[in-house]
Each structure stands twice: as structure tokens, then as C-alpha cells.
Amino acid sequence: MNVNIISKSNVKGEVLDLLAKELPAILSGVLEIAGGKLAVLKPEQVSIAFSEASPRDVGQDIRILVLARINEHRVRAKNVHAGEILEKVVALISGSGVEYSVNVRLYFTEIGMAQHLPGAE
């Protein structure tokens, strides 16, 4: 699963560090479903990339874009899942003593993948 966090320059580095640490577990908890091997989602399977928004950007302070493998259950409940993730992220950020506007978008797609891990069989 790939996640891109786009933030404005007013977002504190500590908040981005907190998201980097906690977001994989949040996504895993919300998007993992009972079922076959393809439905399993562990925090270590979440890849996060950060980028800073343009100074001209008028959107939210933090945008979280999630690209995940399509799964019937996930697609059926996509708005519920987005709401759950948003609620947990806002609570996490608020717990650090700051408030930012946040937007979560889920994109479900068929994903082809190949990888090589040295020493793994």
C-alpha cells in the first residue's frame, strides 16, 4: 500500500513524524479484512512518501492519499473507511496539541507488483 502525505509549510515536523510513526498501524487496522492472503495488511506493508504543498495551494493543511489494492469489502465501505481514518488521524494530531485541516482520499485499484529482497526465498 502506498500513501502520500502532502502538507503545507505551516504543519510542524513533529506532527509529520507522528503521522509517519502511527499512520501505518491506523491504515492496517481500518483496511485489513478477514479473508485470503490479499486481504491481509500489516503496518510494515505501508509505504509513506511526504511532499510539501505549493505555496499557492488553497486546500487542507494535510492531505493523505492512500493507494490500495482493490477489494470488494474495501470498495463497498470506502466512505466509511475514509471517515474512520480521518477520525483517527484528527484525534492523533489533536493529541499533540495542534489543529490542522485534514483530507483523506482512498484510491482502490488493481496493482501489479514485483520485488526482490536479497536473502529472502
pLDDT at residue 63, as a whole number: 96
How many residues in total does the chain contain? 121
Helix (H) / strand (E) element for 42: namely none
Q: Which residue has the cell 503521522?
A: 19
Q: How many CB atoms lie within 10 A of CB 26?
A: 20
pLDDT at residue 34, as a whole number: 66
- Asked if the model's pLDDT at residue 18 lies above 60, the reply is yes
CA distance 100 to 29: 23
Domain locations in the chain? Answer: 2-109
| Residue 38's pLDDT band (cuts 50, 70, 90) | low
Instruction: Give tens-digit pLDDT for 47-75.
Output: 899 999 999 998 999 999 998 888 777 88
* Domain covering 2-109 in this structure, CATH number: 3.30.429.10
Percent above pLDDT 70 for the chain: 93
pTM, two decimals, is 0.83
